[in-house]
Structure 1
Amino acid sequence: MPIGNAQPSVRPVPSGRTDGAAAEAGGRRRGAGSRHLRGGSRAERLAPYVLVAPAILIIVVLRLYPLLLGVNFSFTGDGERNGTTVGIDNYLELLDDSLFRTALGNVGLLVLLLPVAVAIPGLLATFIYLRVPGHRFYRSVYFFPAVLSPVIVGAIFNLLLAFDGPVNAVLGAVGISPVDWLGNPDVAMFVVVGVHIWATFGMALVVFLAGFATLDAALLDAARVDGASLVQVIRHVIIPGLSRTIAFVAVTTMVGMLTSMFGLLYVMTSGGPEGSTYLPEYYIWIQQGQMNRPALASAASTVLFVIMLVVGLLQVKLLRRAGGED
């Protein structure tokens, strides 16, 4: 045969060897991929704990540890018994103190007035959300008191509510006898709480407006089409839709009432008249700052913490039940 027509011989490669190499390479790739996925999933599981670790550390060091120290200190004595263990003597003394019992009674009054403190910013936020005329102006006006110092607010209302002040002058002009707003033990606490609500509801208003941003507008439109009144819309659409927001505002408002009224009490009444405006935080300051009884103040602080914890948990539970949540 001519040499030019000769065909080069090709030796076939066994198919088993090629398939085995390909399978081995694919196995290596799959193994590397599975290890990569396992490593990625492990990192994803650990990422939330790494992110919250600094916050948890700060809470433990600056909150939890001092709290435990305060609870431990409440079982020690004051004065001649300073540093010695006295058991529950401080707590028994609190129960025998009429001022502390008055402070606890005023805590009950705050709980009764809490729905008013939550309803006011809630209703105002509803009107702003529904865009009543002038809603932009009202939003600014309602929030303005929240930026004022409690000392300034207290001084302003001391002038307004003085026995010969503008409020009594207006009442006298319409034939109503003047009221001793800050000197009557039956009235003073209501006045201080009312001033506190006026000065702080701006923050709750902002929270409610943020909650309205998550509300389904289609439900409001459907309610309007069905001819629902404003009261029916609030009861059947807005309140169920904002149950979580209401729970948050209720808890934060109650905590603010229990822990943020010292400035108003100090400026407006100084705990008077006749101790009628005492709250636990003011009692704690008196015992620590004036009576030099830090152990008794620690016991009162522990009682205040337990009250806030119990009231907060009960509020959340009741509001969740009202909102139809488990």
Structure 2
Amino acid sequence: MPMGNAQPSVRPAQAGRTDGAVASGAARRGGRSRRAGGGSRTERLAPYVLVAPAILIIVLLRLYPLLLGVNFSFTGDGARNGTPVGLDNYLELVDDPLFRTALGNVGLLVLLLPVAVAIPGLLATFIYLRVPGHRVYRSVYFFPAVLSPVIVGAIFNLLLAFDGPLNAALGSVGIGSVDWLGNPDIAMFVVVGVHIWATFGMALVVFLAGFATLDSALLDAARVDGASLFQVIRHVIVPGLSRTIAFVFVTTMVGMLTSMFGLLYVMTSGGPEGSTYLPEYYIWIQQGQMNRPALASAASTALFVIMLVVGLLQVQLLRRAGRED
């Protein structure tokens, strides 16, 4: 009997302790899960908090002025200042031969764009393959990128003058002098060539950064298989750097359309005969000299649309080429 009385007294106590342990364990797990849930929400919100300042700056300093400029392009200049004029400014742009010349030069830039991308790409390839003197070339090729466009333009004005050293060198080998900046047929090619020389250092750095992500085992396998340099570039380097190439294509095109004003102003001032006009130079003429801000806003809007369309087309073409490879 004493033993039988002891057993019931022990079992409820053990059961109570077990139930309490289970309950306290569940409470701890619930607390941890709530803390984990709170941490996951914080982690989900963290990226938005971090990018919010950049988005705010872009909206206030980029998108909002862009919308104001588009709205202003539908108003008049001079006596019709602030008056809605519909599409009159855009129709005037179409009828302006200087603006049509500027659009034609944009087409020329698009045609020359592969050359502007191929030059730093090939140089980066040679540096990556460690040709003799690659360390010296790395610094020398980037040097023009740190020069001001005004300085670059002044230097090449001296070099390309009709009585300058380049024509003197051509005359010493029996070739007649060339009016590099005074001939409407070649002046734009000369300015674009100078721009490529002055800016390809940045693209070179981007390509070298892309090469850092390239699988070196693929290059080693190509060498073992006896692939030529052209085959290595076509079948290994270009597919491996497809995203880098797409980035360089877009940024180079944007730079050509928006960063050549300094060279144009110093080297040709839009001449000869308006043959070196680009949209950004046309915008400056209308705004700064002709005092026609509404027409300049219309030209700015047209330039933005051109950049957007060309950039999207380039990305799509490069993606399609990458899928085909």
The two structures have a TM-score, normalised by structure 2, of 0.96
Report the equivalent of 1:159. 158
1:30 shift after superposition: 1.4
**Distance in 2, Cα, partners of 1:296 & 1:322:** 39
Report the equivalent of 1:4. none
1:21 shift after superposition: 1.0
The residue type paired with residue 198 of structure 1 is W
Report the equivalent of 2:3. none
The residue type paired with residue 25 of structure 1 is S
1:33 shift after superposition: 1.2
RMSD: 1.2
**Distance in 2, Cα, partners of 1:134 & 1:181:** 33
Alignment deviations for residues 92-116 of structure 1 (CA, whole Å, 9 cap, x no partner): 0000000000000000000000000
**Distance in 2, Cα, partners of 1:324 & 1:245:** 15
Report the equivalent of 1:12. 10
Report the equivalent of 2:142. 143
Alignment deviations for residues 29-88 of structure 1 (CA, whole Å, 9 cap, x no partner): 111111111101110110000000000000000100000000000000000000100001
Q: Does 1:192 align with 2:204?
A: no
Report the equivalent of 2:262. 263
2:101 aligns to what SS in structure 1?
Answer: helix
In the TM superposition, 1:218-257 aligns within 5 A as 218-257=217-256
1:172 shift after superposition: 1.0
Unmatched segments (≥5 aa) in structure 2: 1-5
In the TM superposition, 1:1-326 aligns within 5 A as 11-14=9-12, 15-324=14-323
> After the TM superposition, which segments of 4 or more aligned residues of structure 1 sit over 3 Å from their partners?
none
Deviates more, 1:25-34 or 1:234-243: 25-34
Report the equivalent of 1:6. none
The residue type paired with residue 267 of structure 2 is M
1:13 shift after superposition: 4.5
Alignment deviations for residues 241-295 of structure 1 (CA, whole Å, 9 cap, x no partner): 0000000001000000000000000000000000000000000000000000000
Deviates more, 1:189-198 or 1:164-173: 164-173
**Distance in 1, Cα, partners of 2:67 & 2:324:** 34
The residue type paired with residue 175 of structure 2 is I
1:325 shift after superposition: 8.0
**Distance in 2, Cα, partners of 1:23 & 1:126:** 66
The residue type paired with residue 19 of structure 1 is T
**Distance in 2, Cα, partners of 1:313 & 1:35:** 45
Identity, in percent, stands at: 86
**Distance in 2, Cα, partners of 1:30 & 1:138:** 62
The residue type paired with residue 139 of structure 1 is R
Deviates more, 1:217-226 or 1:31-40: 31-40
Report the equivalent of 1:5. none
1:16 shift after superposition: 2.6
Report the equivalent of 1:3. none
**Distance in 1, Cα, partners of 2:148 & 2:48:** 38
Unmatched segments (≥5 aa) in structure 1: 1-8
1:19 shift after superposition: 2.1
The residue type paired with residue 101 of structure 1 is R
**Distance in 1, Cα, partners of 2:174 & 2:220:** 47
The residue type paired with residue 301 of structure 2 is T
1:20 shift after superposition: 1.6
